[in-house]
C-alpha cells in the first residue's frame, strides 16, 4: 500500500499582523469546487467565511473518498479557513436565518442552479433590499441569462463546449480533457477577483452590486490566443500535443533517465540550447532552424536531430546546463516527485495542520503571498455544523432558540 508523505507543520504568520481582508464577512452558499475554492481564497486573505451547508450530509464533496477525519480530499482541499453552519434552506425559519446572516455580510457567493436562491428568498434583489452594500457573486455553469441559463454543467463539459478540449491532445486522436479541474480552478480565481473588484468599487461608490462568473465564459477565456487567431483569420487551430505550432523546440524530450520539457520561444533561447547545451553551433546557423518561423515549420526534423543528443545525458546534468545557459526547461514530474522537490520543501508549500475532528490533514499553501498583510494561518476544513451555535449566537439567537431549531431539523450542530 502506498504511504502518504510526512509533512511538516506550517510556519506561523507574524504575531499581530493584519490580514488583507480583515473585517470582511463572506456568506458562502457554494458547493463542489469553483465556488468553495473562490471563497477559500478570500478566507486565506483573512475574510470570515461562513459556509452554509445543507443539513444531513452537508456539501456533497464531504463524502468523496478516501476519507480523512470524516472528509474527502476534495472537501479538505477547497474549504480551509471557513466556518460551517448547517441550515435547512427549504424551511422558512432556515431562510430567515440565512437572511439574518446576509444582513451582516459584506459578500454573498452562491453557485446554486439558476432560480434556486430566488425561490429561497435569497436572490440579490431581496438581499440588497436589506443590505445595500452587499457584494453578491453568482457562480454558474452558463451564466444567469441566455439560452443555457438553467442548464447544469461541470468542468469537463465546459472544456468540451468552449473549444478548449479541441486544442488539447494530439491531432490524430480524440480531444482530451485536462486531468485536473482546470475550469473550476480558473473560475474560482475569476470569482475571487470579481469579488475583490466589487469590494474596491464599494469603497469608492458606497454601494454593493451583483456580479456573475460562469464556467463556460471562463473556459472560453482559457482557450487563449488560439481563439483570437481564429477570429482574425477564420482558420480553426488543430491540436498539437505537447509541441507548439509557433515555436521549436517546444516539447517533451527524454534525457537518459527521465523526461523533460523544453520551450524555446525565441531565437535567442534556441541558439543558447544549440551552442551551450547541445554543443551543436551548426544548428543555430542552419537555414532550416536559425529563425523561429522556419524552425517551427521544420520542428519534426529538428526534434529528430536533438532527441538522441538529449537522451545521451543524465537529466540533472542536462537541466543544470540549461539553467546555466538560460534555456527554459524542467522535469516532467509525477506528484510524488513534485512534493519531494526543493521548490515545495524549502518554501514550505505543503504542510500538515490539525484536523477539525482530531489528527492532522495535509495543507497546500495558497498560491499568493502578501508581505505586508500575510495570509491567515491555515485552519483545516470544518466538520459539518461545527460553527452553527457560534454563528447563530453572533446573530442574537439564544441558546434555547438554537436548541429548538436543532430539534426541528432547521439547523444542525456538529456531532
Secondary structure E strands in 38-151: 48-53, 82-87, 107-110, 135-140
User: Do residues 265 and 216 both lie within one domain?
Assistant: no
Enter the pTM of the model. 0.95
Q: Are residues 92 and 198 in the same domain?
A: yes
Q: For residue 174, what are the contacts with CB-CB under 8 A and spacing of at least 6? A: none
Q: Please check whether residues 284 and 375 belong to one and the same domain.
A: no
CA distance 170 to 282: 31
Q: Which CATH number belongs to the domain containing residue 265 in this structure?
A: 3.30.1540.10
Residue 254 forms part of a structural domain: yes
Could you tell me which of 344, 391, 342 has the C-alpha nearest to residue 363?
Answer: 344
Specify the pLDDT at position 3.
Answer: 84
CATH number of the domain enclosing 199: 3.40.50.10540
Residues 137, 108 share a domain = yes
Report yes or no on 13 lying in a domain: no
* CA separation for the pair 32, 41 (Å, rounded): 15
Q: What is the pLDDT of residue 69?
A: 67
**So what's the pLDDT on residue 327?**
98
pLDDT score at 245: 87
What pLDDT does residue 213 have? 98
Q: Do 171 and 108 sit in the same domain of this protein?
A: yes
Last residue of a domain, one of 273, 305, 333: 333
Q: Do both 270 and 393 map to the same domain?
A: no
How confident is the model at residue 65, as a pLDDT? 78
Q: How far is CA 323 from the centre of its chain?
A: 29
Cβ-Cβ contacts under 8 Å for 197 (sequence gap 6 or more): none
Q: Is the dihedral of CA 352, 354, 356, 359 positive or negative?
A: positive
**Final residue of a structural domain among 304, 333, 362:** 333
- Say how far apart CA 294 and CA 291 lie, in whole Å: 6
Q: 309: domain range? A: 250-333
**Does residue 288 sit in the same domain as residue 259?**
yes
Strand partners, 411: 87
Does one domain contain both 396 and 266? no
* Cα 87 to Cα 97: distance, rounded to the nearest angstrom: 8
Q: Please state, in angstroms and rounded to a whole number, the distance separating the CA atoms of residues 171 and 137.
A: 39
User: Using DSSP, how many helices (H) and how many strands (E) does the chain show?
Assistant: 18, 12
Give the total number of structural domains in the chain.
2
Using CA atoms, how far apart are residues 69 and 140, in angstroms rounded to an integer? 30
Domain end (from 272, 305, 333)? 333
Element (H, E) at 24: none
User: Which residues are catalytic, by number?
Assistant: 184
Per the domain annotation, does 4 fall within a domain? no
pLDDT for 9 equals 96
- Ranges of residues in the chain with a pLDDT under 70 are 1, 68-69
Cα(225)–Cα(358) distance, rounded to whole angstroms? 47
- What is the rounded distance in angstroms from the CA atom of residue 159 to the CA atom of residue 177? 7
Q: Assess if residue 8 is contained within a domain.
A: no
Q: Is residue 72 domain-shared with residue 100, that is, in the same domain?
A: yes
Residue 235 has a CB neighbour count (10 Å cut-off) of 8
210 and 161 part of one domain: yes
| Cis status, amide bond into 350, omega within 30 of 0 | no
Q: What pLDDT is attached to residue 215?
A: 98
Sign of CA dihedral 62, 67, 70, 76: negative
Residue 41 lies in a domain: yes
Cell of 44: 486565506
Which residues are CB-contacts of 7 (< 8 A; sequence separation ≥ 6)?
Answer: 350, 351, 352, 362, 363
Residues 141, 261, single domain; the answer is: no
The answer as to whether 240 is a domain residue is no
Q: H helices of 115-181, where? A: 116-119, 124-130, 155-161
What does the alpha-carbon distance between residue 20 and residue 400 come to, in Å, rounded to a whole number?
36
- Within-domain flag for 66: yes
**What 3 state SS string does 261-291 have?**
EEECCCHHHHHHHHHHHCCCHHHHHCCCCCC
Do the Cβ atoms of 84 and 379 come closer than 8 Å? no
Structural domain includes residue 168: yes
Residues 170 and 81 in one domain: yes
Amino acid at each position: 500500500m502506498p504511504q502518504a508523505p510526512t509533512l511538516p507543520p506550517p510556519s506561523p504568520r507574524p504575531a499581530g499582523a493584519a490580514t488583507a481582508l480583515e473585517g470582511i464577512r463572506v456568506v458562502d452558499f457554494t458547493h463542489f469546487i469553483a465556488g468553495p475554492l473562490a471563497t477559500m481564497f478570500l478566507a486565506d486573505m483573512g475574510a470570515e467565511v461562513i459556509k452554509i451547508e445543507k443539513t444531513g450530509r452537508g456539501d456533497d464533496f464531504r463524502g468523496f473518498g478516501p476519507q480523512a477525519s470524516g472528509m474527502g480530499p476534495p472537501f479538505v482541499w477547497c474549504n480551509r479557513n471557513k466556518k460551517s453552519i448547517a441550515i435547512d434552506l427549504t424551511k422558512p425559519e432556515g431562510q430567515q436565518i440565512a437572511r439574518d446572516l446576509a444582513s451582516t455580510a459584506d459578500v454573498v457567493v452562491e453557485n446554486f442552479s439558476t432560480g434556486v436562491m430566488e425561490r429561497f428568498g435569497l436572490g440579490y434583489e431581496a438581499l440588497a433590499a436589506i443590505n445595500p452594500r452587499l457584494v453578491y457573486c453568482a457562480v454558474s455553469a452558463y451564466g444567469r441569462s441566455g439560452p443555457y441559463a438553467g442548464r447544469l454543467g461541470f468542468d469537463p463539459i465546459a472544456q468540451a463546449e468552449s473549444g478548449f478540449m479541441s486544442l488539447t491532445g494530439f491531432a490524430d486522436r480524440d480531444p482530451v480533457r485536462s486531468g485536473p479541474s482546470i475550469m473550476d480552478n480558473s473560475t474560482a480565481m475569476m470569482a475571487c477577483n470579481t469579488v475583490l473588484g466589487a469590494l474596491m468599487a464599494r469603497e469608492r461608490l458606497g454601494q454593493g452590486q451583483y456580479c456573475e462568473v460562469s464556467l463556460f465564459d471562463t473556459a472560453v477565456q482559457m482557450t487563449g490566443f488560439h481563439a483570437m487567431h481564429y477570429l482574425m483569420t477564420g482558420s480553426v487551430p488543430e491540436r498539437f500535443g505537447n509541441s507548439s505550432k509557433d515555436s521549436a523546440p517546444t516539447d517533451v524530450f527524454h534525457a537518459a533517465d527521465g523526461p523533460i520539457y523544453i520551450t524555446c520561444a525565441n531565437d535567442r533561447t534556441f541558439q543558447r540550447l544549440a551552442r551551450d547545451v547541445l554543443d551543436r553551433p551548426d544548428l543555430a546557423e542552419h537555414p532550416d532552424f536559425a529563425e523561429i518561423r522556419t524552425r517551427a515549420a521544420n520542428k519534426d526534423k529538428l526534434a529528430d536531430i536533438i532527441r538522441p543528443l538529449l537522451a545521451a545525458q543524465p537529466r540533472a546534468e542536462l537541466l543544470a546546463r540549461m539553467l546555466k545557459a538560460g534555456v527554459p526547461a524542467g522535469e516532467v514530474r509525477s506528484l510524488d516527485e513534485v512534493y519531494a522537490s526543493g521548490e515545495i520543501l524549502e518554501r514550505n508549500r505543503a504542510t500538515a495542520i490539525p484536523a477539525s475532528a482530531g489528527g492532522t490533514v495535509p495543507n497546500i499553501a495558497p498560491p499568493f503571498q502578501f508581505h505586508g498583510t500575510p495570509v491567515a494561518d491555515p485552519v483545516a476544513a470544518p466538520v459539518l455544523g461545527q460553527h452553527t451555535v457560534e454563528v447563530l449566537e453572533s446573530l442574537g439567537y439564544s441558546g434555547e432558540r438554537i436548541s429548538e431549531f436543532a430539534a426541528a431539523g432547521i439547523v444542525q450542530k456538529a456531532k
